[in-house]
Amino acid sequence: MIEVTSDLLCTKLKKRAPDTHKGDFGRLTIVAGSRGMVGAPMMATLAAMRTGSGLTTLAAPASVVSCVAVGLMEAMTLPLCETEQGGLDASCMETLLPHLQKQTACVVGCGLGVTNDTKQIIKNIIENTKCKLLLDADALNAIAGTPELLQSCAQTPVVTPHPGEMARLCGIEISAVLSNPAKLARTFAQTYGCVTVLKGHRTVIAAPDGTLFHNTTGNAGLAKGGSGDILSGMIGAFLAQGLSAVDAAVCAVWIHGAAADRLSEHMALTGMLARDVIDELPAVMKALDL
């Protein structure tokens, strides 16, 4: 198992050349949000922008866009049709799918909710989108029982389950996930051809070829709602900037944890919020000379 360290990141991330422009750093769309879960898409989008995504679009139910747009000044938004319950309506694919054909990467699932409509949307995105794809949260819950859908992705997808989501994906008990997370992550990655980021105290990243990475950063301050949304946005940003699926995951997981470690130097873990981690990301990347 390979330990993820700052030295490893320095072999994968490059400092920006002075003559670059926003188009050089990709187009990322984040498909997320529903009534009652408006924070998730906002945090994922902010984290993606803080991690260097060139052009970032939040695609969300129109009511969600209305709630969060004022706080996402640097992002673009794509309001989509929604159900009476405030989630995405499956008919939104008429707008969303053509949009995704022009994107470099897509993050889907944060705060999306699990309904018949969202299940159809996730399946449609997996089967018909050519860009790099990350599935998190409710996107993973939507394919629980049918993880073989991941084999339909045009490019190697990234999945970012916590133990509960991993248990649902595999149809097993959480205790079975926790008993040997590295082995399970590797088996899942190899079986379904995806990069598996199994989140935990020391997150494990498994590549489809069986390579395992063990993260060395992070602390209990990340045990708060929103931390996973931030990580998804970060991985999506690195995917959009041209990193491979496994490199994007490895780099984002380490930086995410390092931001929390920096915060712990002057902030109690109890009071640490996900938004604090977002604000700390530029300092971590500055320390890496990025």
What are 141-171's pLDDT values in tens digits? 999 999 999 999 999 999 999 999 999 999 9
pLDDT for res 241 = 98
Query: In whole angstroms, what separates CA 232 from the centre of its chain?
Result: 2
Q: Binding site membership for (6S)-NADPHX: which residues? A: 40, 111, 162, 229
Contact between 54 and 40 under an 8 Å Cβ cutoff? The reply is no
Q: Binding site membership: which residues? A: 40, 111, 162, 199-203, 228-229
In the chain, the DSSP E strands lie at: 2-4, 27-31, 55-61, 76-80, 105-108, 132-135, 158-159, 195-198, 204-206, 212-215
pLDDT for res 147 = 97
For the sheet containing 55-61, what is the strand order?
A: 2-4, 212-215, 204-206, 195-198, 158-159, 132-135, 105-108, 27-31, 55-61, 76-80
Rounded CA separation 58/62 (Å):
11
Which domains can be identified in the chain, with CATH numbers?
2-12+20-287 (3.40.1190.20)
pLDDT for res 272 = 97
Long-range Cβ contacts of 98-102 (<8 Å, 24+ apart):
99/29, 99/57, 99/59, 100/29, 100/125, 100/129, 100/131, 101/129, 101/130, 101/131, 102/27
Give first-to-last CA distance, the chain, whole Å: 26
User: Using one digit for the tens of pLDDT, what is the confidence trace for 13-28?
Assistant: 999 999 999 999 999 9
pLDDT for res 41 = 98
3-state DSSP call for residue 172? coil
pLDDT for res 9 = 94
| Closest CA relative to residue 98, chosen from 147, 29, 146 | 29
- What is the identity of the amino acid at 121? I
- The 10 Å Cβ neighbour count of residue 90 is 18
Rounded CA separation 110/228 (Å):
8
| Closest CA relative to residue 138, chosen from 120, 101, 159, 111 | 111
- What is the identity of the amino acid at 5? T
pLDDT for res 63 = 97
Residues of the chain with pLDDT below 70 are none
Q: Binding site membership for AMP: which residues? A: 199-203, 228
Rounded CA separation 181/112 (Å):
26
